[in-house]
Amino acid sequence: MRYMRKLSRRTFLRGAGNVAIALPFLDEMRSRSVFAAPAAPPVRAFNIFLGGGVPALHQANGLVGPLAPLAPLASKMAFIRGIEGPGGHPAAAGAAFTGKNLVNDTTAGGPSVDNEVMRFAYPTGKPPTAIDVQGVGYYYKFLDNPSRWVKSWDENGHPKGGLVDDPKQLFTTFFGQAPGGMTAAPTLTPDQKLQTSILDAVIGQYKFYSSDASNLSVASRSKISDHLEAIRQLENRMSGASLVTGGSKSATCSTPAMPNPNLYVSKHHNGASSGGDVVAADFVTSFKVMADLFAMGAGCDLFRFGFTVACCAGDGLSFTGPYSVAGQMVDLTAAGETHDTNHAMGDSPTVGSVALTHQGWHTHLFLECCAYAMQQLDKYMDPNGQSILQNSLTMLGTDLGTNHSGKSVFYAVSQANGKFKPGIYDVQGFLLDFLSSVKSGMGLGGTPKMTSFLV
């Protein structure tokens, strides 16, 4: 068994030109000796949202029919039925991941769970990544009411992280300005390198401390790498270069091709008027490209917290064209506008009614987008042999149950590195009870009121 090296808290990486970079606090800087231990995966949290709700009659049948897109995730998530939310689009949307009433259209009643996890896990209050929180998705109505489409809120109830709805813009955010990705960097002289990045001046010492020769634990070496990577990413953001650098830890973090410039992008407007007609295939295809980029950004450690939105709360648009619902091809044009279909269904629809069937088509499409985003997170692996989806706190949520009712609102939560149990669970209690139970399971304290899905 190998003992770890002891370091002074004042250890610096030093280079030419009086360059000195302080190291983050490491286990080896503690006063007592500790044994080397495998690196734990970084703490991450993602909120996956669909507007319009999932009617209780759809939920009752399990992961089939309108909920069929979630079936591939059955062994990796806990699906929760029976939560009572606030009801009504604005209140329910703003409380979706906070559990508290809105202050106004731009201010939540408190932080969202992901933000609480962030501040609990990272002493500085944010992760050592280039981007604190990344949001992606589509919405149409209520540009002037962010409470309906923002899904991450800080400790003051203010929006945390912007929402990008253009695949090309998301690509540029991650990979820089060059069409098709960043070109190869030219060979630079030592003096040019020093002007390019302060990190190049200390590369020799970095290589030592990140090698076996340093006798540091895997966790500490990873922490040093994260610390310096965050510095380099900050430099890149200031210069407009790619956030994915040559020093990225994952072999999958090479720059992909620029998305097709003709991909569909949603159009926003103030107020509640309808969002117009949208070809279903265009919506799904474009959303999945953004989900690919979103997952790659998380896999390349550009961000550890984020959210996706498959239409905002109370959104209204009319899908057109063919679409496959649980293996059955339908013409979504017949389903009408999404919000109107919810109203036509009412609070107590009957099984087999036309309105319930049409609403199920919309639910299936939105859940297909949400499920795809989570499945992409499941493709990126951490050193502990589990995927980002399995290691992170990933919550799926919506605003309503049936129509405008807050009864039986549907949620799901990932395993979060062994903290929650996969399965389908029927619970009784309020949204705040559920979110408080999730926070308790994540180690944030408190007594959980819903325990069936906790390990």
Q: What is the pLDDT of residues 348-392, one digit of tens each?
A: 999 999 999 999 999 999 999 999 999 999 999 998 999 999 999
Per-residue pLDDT at 180 exceeds 70: no
Q: Which domains does the chain have, with CATH numbers?
A: 12-36+189-239 (no CATH), 45-179+262-441 (3.40.720)
Q: What is the pLDDT of residues 156-167, one digit of tens each?
A: 999 998 899 999
Measured CA angle at 28 (ends 23, 29), to 5 deg? 65
**Which helix (H) or strand (E) segment is 14 a member of?**
strand 12-15
Instruction: Single out the residue of 25, 19, 10 nearest to residue 204, CA to CA.
Output: 19
Q: Which two tokens stand for residue 372?
A: 């795809």
Q: What is the pLDDT of residues 130-158, one digit of tens each?
A: 999 999 999 998 888 999 999 999 999 99
Phi then psi for residue 46, to 5 deg, are -135, 135
Task: Say if strands 77-84 and 423-430 run parallel, antiparallel, or are unpaired.
Answer: parallel
| Residue scoring higher pLDDT (310 or 404) | 310
Q: What is the pLDDT of residues 70-99, one digit of tens each?
A: 999 999 999 999 999 998 888 999 999 999
CB atoms within 10 A of CB 319: 24
**Which helix (H) or strand (E) segment is 216 a member of?**
none
Instruction: Report the C-alpha gap between 48 and 85 in whole angstroms.
Output: 17
User: pLDDT above 90 covers what percent of the chain?
Assistant: 62
Per-residue pLDDT at 195 exceeds 70: no
Task: Say if strands 134-138 and 77-84 run parallel, antiparallel, or are unpaired.
Answer: unpaired
With cut-offs at 50, 70 and 90, classify the pLDDT of residue 220.
confident
Residue type (1 letter), 90: P
With cut-offs at 50, 70 and 90, classify the pLDDT of residue 188.
very low
pLDDT value at position 178? Answer: 43
Give me the mean pLDDT over the 188-202 stretch.
51
Mean residue pLDDT of the chain comes to 85
| Residue scoring higher pLDDT (153 or 215) | 153
With cut-offs at 50, 70 and 90, classify the pLDDT of residue 15.
low
pLDDT value at position 209? Answer: 74
Q: What is the pLDDT of residues 309-327, one digit of tens each?
A: 999 988 999 999 999 999 9
Instruction: Report the C-alpha gap between 343 and 364 in whole angstroms.
Output: 18
pLDDT value at position 22? Answer: 60
User: pLDDT above 70 covers what percent of the chain?
Assistant: 79
Instruction: Single out the residue of 412, 423, 413, 415 nearest to residue 386, CA to CA.
Output: 415
pLDDT value at position 225? Answer: 74
Per-residue pLDDT at 186 exceeds 50: no
Instruction: Single out the residue of 305, 362, 366 nearest to residue 138, CA to CA.
Output: 366
pLDDT value at position 193? Answer: 42
